[in-house]
């Protein structure tokens, strides 16, 4: 068989006919069909009726040209394990992509189905994406379905104004709801990913700040001054992050010269303190929480913060111990009361039995 787009005939050795729309027939070889599709193979294995004509496979519901293209593609791929759709075959897949996707799904031709999905995805438009999405759902094409949803999410205003979307709203509101729910889920996933990236960025910046703080206090940053401009040092030390070091040095100098510390405590409380001093205070506290250097640490207030955390931890443990002791005391008291009540019941029963025996004796 050649690559002719008008004659998919199997030649003189064709032993099967495919019946298409308009009662037109295409002679093909049964071996090619059986090797290409397990569904067609099972249809060819069925016993023939006596007195009937040769084997005929009806493929109706799609145009004759689409069936011809389907047969030609099966013939062109009969010698390849994983056929590559190129050249004229790619053109045919592009022209009859919708019908070929249906045929490849029905007759389980996996490589052709994937080629049709790629062809349809490359030609998606806002005008036809709804029809392609419905087709992808019915033909179990999740990759194509996802591409359709992405296009709808990207250009929802244009899709919403199409005739296909209005038809979907009028005739299949459940599918519309499912599409909108999928778009909402995708939007929420995108927001979670964005929030996670922002959080990771903050954690990275804090990690860099901790490294620079240790560098400034332990080694003395000689590459960057508070103003960012300083004479070149004689023996410079490597600065891990000049921009962060510059900002930390500015905070340290601000803390030493902050005017709010000179104001009365009532005014400081009304103004909620200096935000820049509070920021540096929080960085120092964070450093003490993750510091693994043995005492004395060269970062200011590190030892004090560590002692305070230890005191807070011991206080929490003591409060927990007090709660535990109170629980033990209450459980023990309830146990004693339960034993007393049980003993009184037993004594009452024994006294009653003794009284009954005395009555019987009398």
Indicate the length of the chain as a whole number. 362
Is the previous residue joined to 296 through a cis bond, with omega within 30 degrees of 0? Answer: yes
| Separation of CA 48 from chain center | 53
Residue 103 structure tokens = 């045929």
pLDDT at 71 over 60: yes
The proportion of the chain whose per-residue pLDDT surpasses 70, expressed as a percent, equals 82
pLDDT tens sequence across 204-215? 888 888 888 888
Q: Which two tokens stand for residue 330?
A: 């209450």
Supply the DSSP symbol for 75: H
pLDDT tens digits along 153-169: 989 999 999 999 999 99
What is the secondary structure of 97-115 as a DSSP string?
A: HHHHHHHHHHTT-HHHHHH
Which of 7-16, 221-230, 278-287 has the least mean pLDDT?
A: 221-230
Four-residue CA torsion sign, 344, 346, 352, 354: negative
Q: Return d(Cα 69, Cα 76) in angstroms, integer.
A: 10
pLDDT of amino acid 118: 92
Q: How confident is the model at residue 286 (pLDDT cuts 50, 70, 90)?
A: confident
129, with CB counted inside 10 A (0-12, 13-18, 19+), is buried
Residue bearing the bigger pLDDT, 333 or 249: 249
Specify the DSSP element, H or E, that contains 25. Answer: strand 25-28
pLDDT above 60 (res 291): yes
The H-or-E segment that residue 16 falls in is strand 16-19
pLDDT of residue 194 exceeding 90 = yes
Identify the pLDDT of residue 341: 77
- Residue 126's pLDDT band, with cuts at 50, 70 and 90, is very high
Structure tokens at 357: 């025996």
- The tokens for 228 are 């960012």
- Measured from the Cβ of residue 248, the count of other Cβ atoms closer than 10 Å reads 23
| pLDDT tens digits, one per residue of 31-63 | 989 888 999 999 888 877 655 566 889 998 899
Instruction: Categorize the per-residue pLDDT at 249 as very low, low, confident or very high, splitting at 50, 70 and 90.
Output: confident
pLDDT, tens digit (0-9, with 9 covering 90-100), for 252-279: 888 878 876 555 555 444 445 788 888 8
Better-predicted residue by pLDDT, 82 or 111: 111
Is residue 359's pLDDT more than 90?
no
- pLDDT reading at 87 higher than 70: no
**Model pTM score:** 0.59
Sketch out the chain's domains with CATH numbers: 13-122 (3.30.710.10), 215-259+271-347 (1.20.1020)
Closest to 229 measured CA to CA, from 250, 251, 210: 250
Instruction: Supply 56's token pair.
Output: 């005929």
């Amino acid at each position: 068989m050649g690559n002719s787009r008008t004659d998919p005939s199997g030649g003189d050795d064709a032993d099967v006919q495919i019946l298409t729309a308009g009662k037109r027939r295409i002679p093909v070889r049964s071996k090619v069909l059986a090797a290409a599709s397990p569904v067609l193979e099972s249809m060819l294995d069925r016993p023939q009726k006596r007195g009937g004509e040769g084997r005929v496979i009806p493929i109706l519901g799609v145009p004759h040209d689409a069936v011809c293209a389907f047969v030609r593609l099966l013939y062109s791929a009969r010698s390849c394990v994983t056929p590559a759709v190129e050249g004229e075959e790619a053109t045919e897949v592009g022209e009859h992509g919708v019908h070929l996707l249906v045929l490849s799904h029905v007759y389980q031709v996996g490589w052709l189905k994937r080629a049709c999905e790629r062809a349809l995805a490359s030609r998606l438009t806002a005008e036809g994406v709804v029809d392609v999405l419905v087709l992808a759902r019915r033909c179990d094409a999740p990759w194509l379905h996802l591409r359709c949803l992405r296009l709808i999410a990207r250009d929802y205003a244009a899709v919403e104004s199409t005739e296909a979307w209005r038809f979907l709203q009028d005739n299949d509101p459940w599918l519309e709801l499912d599409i909108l729910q999928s778009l909402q889920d995708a939007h929420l996933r995108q927001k979670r990913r964005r929030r996670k990236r922002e959080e990771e960025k903050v954690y990275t910046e804090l990690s860099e700040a901790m490294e620079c703080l240790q560098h400034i206090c332990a080694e003395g940053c000689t590459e960057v001054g508070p103003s960012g401009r300083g004479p070149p040092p004689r023996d410079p030390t490597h600065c891990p992050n000049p921009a962060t070091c510059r900002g930390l040095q500015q905070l340290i100098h601000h803390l030493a010269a902050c005017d709010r510390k000179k104001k009365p405590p009532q005014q400081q409380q009304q103004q909620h303190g200096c935000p820049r001093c509070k920021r540096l205070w929080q960085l120092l506290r964070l450093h003490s929480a993750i510091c693994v250097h043995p005492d004395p640490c060269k970062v200011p207030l590190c030892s004090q913060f560590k002692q305070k955390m230890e005191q807070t931890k011991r206080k929490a443990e003591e409060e927990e111990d007090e709660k535990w002791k109170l629980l033990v005391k209450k459980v023990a008291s309830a146990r004693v009361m339960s034993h007393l009540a049980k003993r009184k019941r037993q004594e009452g029963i024994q006294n009653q039995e003794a009284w009954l025996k005395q009555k019987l004796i009398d």
